[in-house]
Structure 1
Amino acid sequence: MDFQPVERAPEASQQSLTAQEITGICRRAFGSATDPVSAVELSTGMYNNVYRLALYGRAEPVILRVAPEEGRQFRSEHRLMRNEYATQPWLTVIAPLMPRVLTVDWSHEVVDRDWMIQTCLPGVPAPERMRAYPRTARTTFFRQMGAIARKVHDVRGPHFGPVAGPAYGKWSEAVLASLEDIAADLRDAGLDASGVREAAALAARDRATLDEITEPRLMSGDLWTVNTLLDPTAPEPVITGVLDFDRTWFGDPAADWTISMATAVQDERASFWEPYGALDRSPAAVRRAGIYEARHLGAILLEAHRLGRTDAVRERYELLARLLADLTRPRG
């Protein structure tokens, strides 16, 4: 087998599989007569190890995704792959854009990690393909993103919190639990958790405002440019695939990462709102949005630390400090 792993530091949460382990996974998934011809580890995986596999007797490649060992997972990122698998029945509204799950294995018998094999979608990563278009073409791309987000957010859920659970009866309970987990993860990683703890205290004081959200809606959790694929030959951006729904939640769509990114910069992203609809700008919604942004920053702090990006860690702490100062400023 031609095997091309990505080299990583020994302490990194992502650890490449061996050729023998990949062969064992293929035989478990497709039968003892199925061996991989080649395995290319893709560097685009920010959390899971991701491989494009060519298999004997199979015309199309498949994608193997392997979660970090459980001992290397933050509590706020615990068993994300299982959460993604539990989300599949809720995402049929965008099924044509998603890879099909071929098999999953939580047994840890072949390797001591969760793994999933999916179909390989056509297209190229959006950040790579977008460079071929003029800037004005971005409006077409963001308009499609808005339409996809609208479909996802229109899905009603049975509870608040991660799709696979734990389930909460109130939105404030889900938000507080997430902030508390992130703060505990920061502490365990030797990082300053005081800002996220302050955000949790603000959320606790604003329970009534958070609990104005009474209907759980599906949130993608991580959908933005880096998790989309584009047609490699189309004269304008055409989204052919969307990836990585492991951080899905049921709750307030305004808390979704997609909404945070759509509101981050006032540029061509304005076209996102044409199919999506107007964002609630009431005082209560703005207050909730501040708490949601603090949660996003806490999660990004953990990711930046996990990936060894010290500059990004410092920048997020600065942003969090400014956000908290604004949230605690007396309102006239």
Structure 2
Amino acid sequence: MDFQPIERPPDAFQQSVTADQVVAMSLRAFGPHVQVRAGVELGNGSYNNTYRVDLTGDLDANVTEGVDAHPPQDRSVILRVAPEPARQFRTEREFLRNEVASIPLLSPIAALMPRLLAADFSHAVVNRDYVFQSLLDGVPAPQGLAAYPRASWAAFFRSLGAITRTVHDVRGEGFGPVNGPAFATWAEALAARLADLAADLDDLGLDATDVRQVAEVAGRHLGVLNRIREPRLLHGDLWTVNVMVAPDAPEPTICGVFDCDRTSWGDPEADWSILLAGRRPGTERDAFWDAYGPLANSGEARLRRLIYRASHLGAARLERHRLGNAVGVAESYDELREILALLTD
């Protein structure tokens, strides 16, 4: 087997599994007659370890039905392996289980998503959750967009807005992560999220005072938050890094959506894609709103969006710390200070 893990320092958050573990996971998922020709770790993403696994042999039909992009004797699949449970933040716990639970809910965009081939949360092979998925066609959007003149990028963002709206049109019954815990009100779900963020920052030795101040502001505006009465499905990470584009289309065309492990029920305006689409107004990103539709512009809606932006900044601080981005961590305090000034004005 040709095994190509990404070499990382011993103290890095992401740690590769071994070649033997990739073989054992593959045999468990696809049956004893499969052979693993290669396992190549992919560099995208900073949470799960992701591999392209090249297989040969007789794969069990029940897990490969409909995955016919390659002949039966030669097939590539994606393996995603979660961090060990002890390494997971409270705000990122059991993400792969959350994604598996969300697959039926994401059926309106199923044609764009990879097929789930196998999931193993038993920890019998390795002390980590893992899933096998079909390999999506296309090119990662950050790379694919670069092949087009910037003037044509509006088509991409218009399509992204339409996909986001399709996801947000899915209705639920409770607030919070798709796989739980569920909350009766949006304010309760948001309060739990902010409390977990603060606790995660505490565990890392980072000052969480500003996140707790945001939680206090949210607690003073329960009525405003609880105007959101109907839970809607949020993707949580739908942006260019988790999208594939068709390589030879006349304009940037989305052909795949992946990494749907941060799904939750909440206010659509709290979704990550809404925050990013609103950045850099006056650019091609404005086309997002052509398909998605305008946001509410009341004072209460603007207040909610400030709280959501603060929550995203707290999560970004965790991510920046994990990546060793000390400058980004410091900047998050300045950014959150500005938001708190607006919230308490």
Q: Same fold (TM over 0.5)?
A: yes
User: 2:315 is matched with which residue: 299, 304, 310?
Assistant: 299
Match of 1:102 in 2: 117
Match of 2:48 in 1: 48
User: 1:87 is matched with which residue: 96, 99, 102?
Assistant: 102
Aligned residues of 2:56 and 2:75 also touching (Cα < 8 A) = no
The answer for unaligned runs of 5 or more in structure 1 is none
Aligned residues of 1:254 and 1:289 also touching (Cα < 8 A) = yes
Q: How many residues were matched structurally?
A: 329
Give distance in 1, aligned partners of 2:4 and 2:332: 33
Give distance in 2, aligned partners of 1:328 and 1:218: 30
Give distance in 1, aligned partners of 2:51 and 2:332: 30
Match of 2:170 in 1: 155
Q: Percent identity?
A: 54
Give distance in 2, aligned partners of 1:228 and 1:60: 22
Match of 1:262 in 2: 277
Report the TM-score, using the length of structure 1 for normalisation. 0.98
Match of 2:13 in 1: 13
How far apart are residue 68 of structure 1 and its match? 0.2
User: Is 1:309–2:325 an aligned residue pair?
Assistant: yes
RMSD: 0.8
- Aligned letter for 1:175? L
Q: Which runs of 4+ in 1 moved over 2 A?
A: 57-60
Match of 1:285 in 2: 301
Give distance in 1, aligned partners of 2:95 and 2:217: 27
Deviations 1:197-217 (A, max 9, x none): 111111111111000000000
Match of 1:327 in 2: 343
Give distance in 2, aligned partners of 1:204 and 1:54: 51
User: 2:240 is matched with which residue: 225, 244, 252?
Assistant: 225
- Aligned letter for 2:171? R
Aligned residues of 2:37 and 2:54 also touching (Cα < 8 A) = yes
How far apart are residue 86 of structure 1 and its match? 0.5
Deviations 1:121-172 (A, max 9, x none): 0011100111111111110000000000010000001210000000000000
- Aligned letter for 2:16? S
Report the TM-score, using the length of structure 2 for normalisation. 0.94
Match of 1:62 in 2: 77
Give distance in 2, aligned partners of 1:261 and 1:277: 15
User: 2:209 is matched with which residue: 173, 181, 194?
Assistant: 194
Give distance in 2, aligned partners of 1:76 and 1:314: 21
| SS at 1:61 equivalent | strand
Give distance in 2, aligned partners of 1:32 and 1:302: 41
Give distance in 1, aligned partners of 2:259 and 2:320: 18
User: Is 1:271–2:290 an aligned residue pair?
Assistant: no
